[in-house]
């Protein structure tokens, strides 16, 4: 499938991030889905949430938190912020050369480790190999950020079956593939841990170790397209809506295993390839920004902050939700049906 066949096409070259903090944040809990809660689990549920994680020791100063550096992609900017909070990262893409260059920049900027890997989210065997390499390098995986995406502007009547399927394969099926592999290879793998008694007594023998899940955090990067109908975006909107539904289902199923799953839906973000290719002319972008509640575009640092929040202990009781980070744009932005006129032909042969 050629790029020209996809109309105005943009495909993410960095589809997935694996973030590795120094210590796994204890998030979620195994009590919320149990009809009868054992006393020892009730004690754990009522205990303070531990803060010993990579996100508990930020290494930045407040005046620079919204400063937008040049020459960084949104994904690289996201990784920089995780690294500045003590995390090691793994970045995976179909283009090993591209992520290798990004990894070098990341290491130079933060001093943290970054492992670049070649992987296609549509190929489960390749995902398994990549996860095995990551586990061999770091020993554990704490946070998964699913950022694979394929998008382009095209009327539904001109959209080929293959083009629609390709977007779903990358966005929806790719998100499930990576999440499922990581779930099986690490998140659900049990580790021996000492069971805590709510009322320990000196004369009682210590509890034997019990098998507990590693747990983890998954953040799926989606979009606001499915919150309302939008022209030229039936493929991406449908694929991202499926990811948001998947987020809720997996949050329910995997929550008892100490796994939190949330979606983050960014709006128009300045300085990104997506805005350049999908946003239209600078005048059109400015007009859309001015009619939004905050009357401006977002920046990559603000998205990084939001993902960092969802992955950190600050969101330890948040799962199965979608966090919209668009300055309220989806509430007020007009649906520009005139864009349909930009396409000379709005239909295609079956």
pLDDT at site 75 = 75
Q: Take residue 139 and report the two structure tokens written for it.
A: 């020993």
Q: How far apart are CA 241 and CA 265, in angstroms?
A: 11
pLDDT at site 203 = 52
Burial of 185 per CB tally in 10 Å (0-12, 13-18, 19+): middle
Nearest to 266 by CA among 317, 333, 220: 220
Bridge partners (DSSP) listed for residue 210:
193
CB burial string 35-52: b at 16+ within 10 A, e below: eeeeeebeebeeeeeeee
pLDDT at site 136 = 96
Q: How far apart are CA 274 and CA 268, in angstroms?
A: 8
Nearest to 165 by CA among 6, 4, 345, 349: 6
| Average pLDDT of adjacent 10-residue blocks, the chain of 350 residues | 35 44 34 37 42 43 37 75 93 93 92 96 97 96 94 93 97 98 90 48 54 87 92 95 99 96 94 72 74 90 96 97 96 76 63
pLDDT at site 208 = 54
Q: How far apart are CA 154 and CA 278, in angstroms?
A: 10
**Phi, psi dihedrals of residue 130, rounded to the nearest 5°:** -65, -45
pLDDT at site 237 = 96
Name, in order, each residue with C-beta under 8 angstroms of 192's C-beta and a sequence gap of 6 or more: 209, 210, 211, 212
Q: Take residue 1 and report the two structure tokens written for it.
A: 């499938």
Q: How far apart are the first and last CA of the chain?
A: 16
Q: What is the dihedral of CA 88, 94, 95, 100, to 10 degrees?
A: 10
For β-strands 259-266 and 216-221, DSSP reports them as parallel
Strands in the chain per DSSP E: 8-11, 16-20, 88-93, 114-118, 143-146, 150-153, 190-194, 209-213, 216-221, 259-266, 322-325
Cβ atoms of residues 244 and 263 within 8 Å: yes
Per-residue DSSP letter, 186: I
Cβ atoms of residues 155 and 232 within 8 Å: yes
* Other Cβ atoms closer than 10 A to 160: 15
Q: What is the largest CA-CA distance in the chain?
A: 83
CATH class of 8-35+67-192+209-330: alpha beta
pLDDT at site 334 = 75
pLDDT at site 282 = 76
In this prediction the pTM is 0.77
pLDDT at site 238 = 98
């Amino acid at each position: 499938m050629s790029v020209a066949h996809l109309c105005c096409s943009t495909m993410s070259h960095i589809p997935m991030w694996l973030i590795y903090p120094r210590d796994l944040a204890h998030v979620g809990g195994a009590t919320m889905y149990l009809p009868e809660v054992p006393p020892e689990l009730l004690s754990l549920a009522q205990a303070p949430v531990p803060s010993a994680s990579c996100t508990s020791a930020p290494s930045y100063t407040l005046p620079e938190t919204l400063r937008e550096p040049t020459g960084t992609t949104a994904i690289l900017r996201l990784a920089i912020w995780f690294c500045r909070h003590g995390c090691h990262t793994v970045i995976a893409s179909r283009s090993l050369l591209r992520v290798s260059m990004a990894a070098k920049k990341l290491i130079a900027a933060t001093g943290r480790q970054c492992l670049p890997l070649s992987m296609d989210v549509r190929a489960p065997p390749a995902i398994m190999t990549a996860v095995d390499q990551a586990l061999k390098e770091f020993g554990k995986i704490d946070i998964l950020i699913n950022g694979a995406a394929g998008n382009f502007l095209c009327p539904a009547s001109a959209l080929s079956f293959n083009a629609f399927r390709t977007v779903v394969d990358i966005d929806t099926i790719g998100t499930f593939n990576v999440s499922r592999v990581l779930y099986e290879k690490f998140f659900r793998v049990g580790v021996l841990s000492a069971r805590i008694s709510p009322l320990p007594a000196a004369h009682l023998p210590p509890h034997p170790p019990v098998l507990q899940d590693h747990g983890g955090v998954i953040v799926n990067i989606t979009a606001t397209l499915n919150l309302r109908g939008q022209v030229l975006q039936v493929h991406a909107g449908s694929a991202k809506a499926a990811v948001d539904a998947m987020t809720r289902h997996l949050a329910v199923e995997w929550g008892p295993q100490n796994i939190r799953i949330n979606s983050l839906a960014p709006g128009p973000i300045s300085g990104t390839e997506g805005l350049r290719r999908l946003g239209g002319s600078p005048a059109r972008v400015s007009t859309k920004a001015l009619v939004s509640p905050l009357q401006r575009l977002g920046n990559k640092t603000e998205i990084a902050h939001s993902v960092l929040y969802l992955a950190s202990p600050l969101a330890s009781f948040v799962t199965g939700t979608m966090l919209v980070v668009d300055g309220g744009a989806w509430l007020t932005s007009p649906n520009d049906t005139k864009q349909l006129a930009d396409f000379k032909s709005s239909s295609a042969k079956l």
